[in-house]
Structure 1
Amino acid sequence: MASEGTGDSLLVARRQGVKAKPESARDEWVVECAAQLFLEGGLSSVKMTDIADASGVGVATLYRRFKSKTRLSVEAATLLWKRFNERICELVESDDFLTMNGADRLETLLREYGAHYVANREFVSFLDEFDHLVLSEGVEGGELESYGREVDSFYIIFDDAYRLGVSDGSVLILPDFATFYKSVAHALVSVAEKMARGEVIPSDDFSDGMEELDCIVDMAVKYVRK
């Protein structure tokens, strides 16, 4: 009984601590908790009550602040992409990366992109579920503005590397670089999502999934490298 009382006291203290935070800080905490739950349990299986329990914020408050689970999912997806971009920024700002020519930067970015997907299958599974949610719920473009900026920010880094490659002569001048980028990015995402979902038919053998991603990168680099 004593342990139960202690647990209850800790829960009350935690909830009081959350309530004492400014609304902006509390919202960030809720999004953090939601993102973690989505990664651990899958987007479809997590309920608003689960997020309320994990964050220490009442369900009514969640709906007042975020309106719906879908909107909260958008916030969580934005946060997860922001974390991925922070990892890429660390790479871009490293001394080794800054000494590379444009072609080597492109290859390094693509391999990091693929390696991140392999190392974070929960993130890939979440993105797959999130895309389906956005389409099924008819989420409008305005609601995805911040999310889109986080996703597109990787393209900006990639484009900078390409422009450097054109300047230093290490890459070819492509007729449509944006299409090249989207084709490679979509191919990497597609393989990563299939790896995360698992084998559906016998021919879906993803034991060499990383090799498939490497093959896509190899073809892309060979296509663009001068």
Structure 2
Amino acid sequence: MPQGIRQHKKTSRYESIIYTAEHLFLESGIDAVQMQDIAKAEGIGIATLFRYFPKKEKLIVAVAIKNLERTLAQLNTIVQSPKTAYERLEDTLNYLLTNQTREKNSAKFREAFESYASIAKEPLTDIELYIDIQKEITMALLPIIEDGKSDGSLRTDIPIKETVITLINTYGTFGNNVLLKSPITYTEDDFLPEVQLRILKDIFLSYVNPRYWS
């Protein structure tokens, strides 16, 4: 078999294992799923699975990295658009809102993974790769911040870098909390999580908009 075809098949299998594992982790919980369960669902032998992922935690982290990579790809698209910095920041918050409301499984897995990793007795294998993706996401947002200084669409009388990163992190965390916990949290019908997120988004955007503070 030519080397290129062999590598393509290997990459396809790698991606498929990650997809299958993510589905099982969401369905049954990270702790409950065993490597044998993943191999069976993927339709491969356990020895083949271990050739790709020698330890379960390496697979868990790989799923988490793939999850964040999807977010990074979307943010890069937003950041590279020819809009003002303010408009791109608004698009970023809109993406987070859409991602959290329509793609709840992604947010649900991230929440489960970070809880799992935070109580692990030792740092998970390859966890530094997950942290590196988080850094890449932060770096991807920097053009918005820099462009906001030059195009005048963001305030310059506040530490804008710290402010924007804090707002985005807070918005993402709050969104995960109110959406993922909505089945066990009482809220009035006219104050649903989506409504709260839209209100919070408007508050954040008004804070960085220089027109409100001139």
Task: Specify the TM-score bucket, using the shorter chain as the normaliser.
Answer: 0.7 to 0.9
Q: Percent of aligned pairs with the same residue? A: 23
Q: Summarize the alignment of residues 1-226 of structure 1 with structure 2, pairs less than 5 Å apart.
A: 24-25=10-11, 26-63=13-50, 65-93=52-80, 97-98=81-82, 100-140=83-123, 143-173=126-156, 174-175=158-159, 177-178=161-162, 180-203=164-187, 208-226=192-210
Q: CA deviation at 1:210?
A: 1.4
- Hey, what's the Cα distance between the residues in 1 that align with 2:99 and 2:108? 13
**Kept after mapping to 2: 8 A contact 1:124/1:193:** no
* Amino acid across the alignment from 2:153: S
More moved, 197-206 vs 81-90 = 197-206
Q: CA deviation at 1:41?
A: 4.4
Per the normalisation by structure 1, the TM-score is 0.75
| Larger of the two Rg values belongs to structure | 1
Unaligned stretches of 5+ residues in structure 2: none
* Amino acid across the alignment from 1:51: I
**Kept after mapping to 2: 8 A contact 1:188/1:213:** no
* Amino acid across the alignment from 1:126: F
Q: CA RMSD in A?
A: 2.8
Q: CA deviation at 1:191?
A: 2.8
**Kept after mapping to 2: 8 A contact 1:30/1:51:** yes
- Hey, what's the Cα distance between the residues in 2 that align with 1:47 and 1:179? 42
Q: CA deviation at 1:64?
A: 5.1
Q: CA deviation at 1:24?
A: 4.8
Q: CA deviation at 1:144?
A: 1.8
SS of structure 1 residue aligned to 2:205: helix
Q: CA deviation at 1:36?
A: 3.2
Unaligned stretches of 5+ residues in structure 1: 1-19
Q: Is the alpha carbon distance of 1:75 and 1:211 closer, same or farther for their aligned partners in structure 2, counting shifts above 3 Å? A: same
Q: CA deviation at 1:215?
A: 1.7
Q: Number of residue pairs matched?
A: 203
